[in-house]
Chain A
């Protein structure tokens, strides 16, 4: 059974803090993704990675960075948290095989509140 785990379910941080969100998958997936989910806006892609040490910007990368030092782990970093980064953050992973490339497996999410 595919498992994507995220380090925290709930997180409260202060404005200006550096925030690390960790994601680990156990299925040897090549691709990993970070999304944020906001009411009325759906899931928006922040960054994704298709290989170790590789990263590509998604639709809303501003204010975020990522790190992928190992295949199974993908970290999202908020260099200086701001209140408009209060959101649900979802990590996902997938294979690169053409026949299953559309299927992403999601973690349970981290609800981040920045005060």
Chain B
């Protein structure tokens, strides 16, 4: 079983919509939960992280962790065409385990 599972999509939404991305993970010992964003022909870059459980908000982005159900989510409010990218969830700390990535397209 993979340590983290992510629906690869793709996902296409109109500008201004809320984007909802999800991952599930298998090991309840994980403490760090990250979201990386990868634009086309670029390497991934850290978007947000959450330590342990709860929510974290950064502008239009909200990351949520539900440790009881081993579920992590990323919400993008008021989505923009510039948000079009692949979003990868990642867990653990030293040796990251990545989800497959979800490709999001925001249509103008």
User: Across the interface, do B34 and A102 meet the contact criterion of CB distance under 8 Å?
Assistant: yes
What residues of chain B lie closer than 8 Å to A101, measured between beta carbons? 32, 93-94
Please report the total number of A residues contacting B with Cβ < 8 Å.
Answer: 23
Which partner residue on chain B sits nearest A39 by CB separation? Answer: B8
Interface size on B, residues (CB 8 A): 23
Find chain B residues with CB under 8 A from A104 CB.
Answer: 46, 96
Given contacts A90-B43, A106-B43, A107-B43, contact A42 B94 (CB under 8 A): no
A102, A103, A106: most-surrounded residue (chain B CB, <10 A): A102
Residues 22-49 (chain A) with a chain B CB within 8 angstroms: 31, 35, 39-45, 48
Interfacial residues, chain B to chain A (CB-CB below 8 A)? 6, 8, 32, 34, 41-46, 49, 88, 90, 92-101
